[in-house]
Amino acid sequence: MAACCFSAPFARALDDECAAWPGEPSPLPRVDDREPRTARWAELRAEELTVRAQLAEPRDPMESLRLWRRVLCLDPKSSPAWNGVGRTRPVRIHQLEMRWGRRQQASLRDPWGQLALAINVPAPVPQLSRATREQLARAEEQIDASEASLGEARFQETLDLVRAAGDTLSQVSAGVAAATPLRARAAIIGGTAHIALGDDAAARESFTRALVANPRLTLDPAKTSPKVIEAFEAARTGRGGAR
């Protein structure tokens, strides 16, 4: 979707958001800056935020939207960013009724009526202990912070937060299913930070941990940096890291 397809008020609102974030040069550089070093900084920053937005899009569309808009501050002509904004702008959805028990049956005379029936929800699982819930919540906070740090190109801080989340999750029993996606998510974030720092071997180790947590884990090539995809698939097949 091209930039011309958005309204003037949207473009003006975008301009208002382009003040420098903490740690960024002010005024915020753009890829078309006349100074080569400044333009190169903007290009690299846009690439890192693009990776961050792609990772966030399936899980947190609003955060992804925030990052896509930030990419447009750096590169107003970025087609991936304009497309990302178009995909993640808020939409209204129908909230289906949720209830316990068997799913209602649709009338044969009105098969479309099935769309309005309540969704069948599995029976509740046993309650986790308070300590386990607190550990999971703490780990998720640390992982959220690591994603934010990754999005702001603070890669060493990202790795420190990922390690802290790993320490927290190590206190959670291996049989707690809720910890598995957190372990995989933390490993993907850590691997992406290692790629950004040029440490391909460490990235492969992180991606291997993600695959141990979830062997069916995949990354969408349309939404993920090719170098991250390369290292991730290398970990899956046991080949060398990204070039």
Asked if residue 191 lies in contact with residue 200, where contact means CB atoms within 8 angstroms, the answer is no
> Mapping DSSP to helix (H, G, I), strand (E, B) and coil, where does residue 215 land?
coil
Residue identified by tokens 């792609």 is: 54
The CATH number of residue 232's host domain is 1.25.40.10
What is the mean pLDDT of the segment spanning 1-10?
A: 46
| Residue 143: per-residue pLDDT | 93
Total domains in the fold of the chain: 2
Q: Are 49 and 67 in contact (CB under 8 A)?
A: yes
Each residue of 143-159: pLDDT tens digit? Answer: 999 989 988 889 999 99
Same domain, 23 and 77: yes
pLDDT tens profile 20-50: 888 888 889 999 999 999 999 999 999 999 9
Q: In terms of pTM, does the model score above 0.85?
A: no
> CB neighbours (10 Å) of residue 210?
23
Contact 181, 188 (CB under 8 A): no
Please give the pLDDT value at position 186.
93
Tokens representing 80 are 């991936």
| Residues 134 and 80 placed together within one structural domain of the fold | no
Q: Which residues contact residue 39 at a Cβ distance below 8 angstroms, ignoring those fewer than 6 apart?
A: 29, 30, 31, 32, 33
Residue 191: pLDDT band with limits 50, 70, 90 = very high
Let me know whether 10 and 68 are in one domain: yes
pLDDT (tens digit, 9 = 90+) per residue, 49-61?
A: 999 999 988 888 8
DSSP string, 60-104: -HHHHHHHHHHHHHH-TT-HHHHHHHHHHS--------EEESSPP
> Is residue 13 predicted with pLDDT exceeding 70?
no
Instruction: Please give the C-alpha separations between residue 101 and each of 90, 98, 127, in angstroms, as whole numbers.
Output: 32, 10, 19
The per-residue pLDDT for 121 is: 53
Domain boundary residue among 33, 65, 88? 88
For residues 82 and 135, state if they share a domain.
Answer: no
pLDDT (average), residues 173-182? 84
- Tell me which H or E stretch contains 53: helix 36-56
**110 occurs within a structural domain:** no
Q: Residue with structure tokens 């707690």? A: 176
- Residue 7 resides in a domain: yes
Instruction: Tell whether 149 and 228 lie within a shared domain.
Output: yes
**In terms of domains, do 72 and 163 share one?**
no
Residue 111 predicted with pLDDT over 60 = no
pLDDT tens digits, 68-79: 999 999 999 999
Q: Residue 162 falls within a domain, yes or no?
A: yes
Helices 179-196 and 36-56 cross at an angle (nearest 10°) of 160
CB 230 within 8 A of CB 243: yes
Centre a 10 Å sphere on the Cβ of residue 67 and count the other Cβ atoms it contains.
28
Query: Residue 98 phi/psi, 5° resolution?
Result: -115, 130
Q: Cβ-count burial of 132 within 10 angstroms (0-12 exposed, 13-18 middle, 19+ buried)?
A: middle
- The three-point CA angle 53-50-192 to 5° equals 85
More confident residue, 5 or 87: 87
Asked whether the predicted pLDDT for residue 118 surpasses 60, the reply is no
**Average pLDDT, rounded, for the chain:** 79
- Quick one: DSSP state of residue 23? T
Q: Which residue range(s) make up the domain with 84?
A: 3-88
Q: Is residue 158 part of a domain?
A: yes
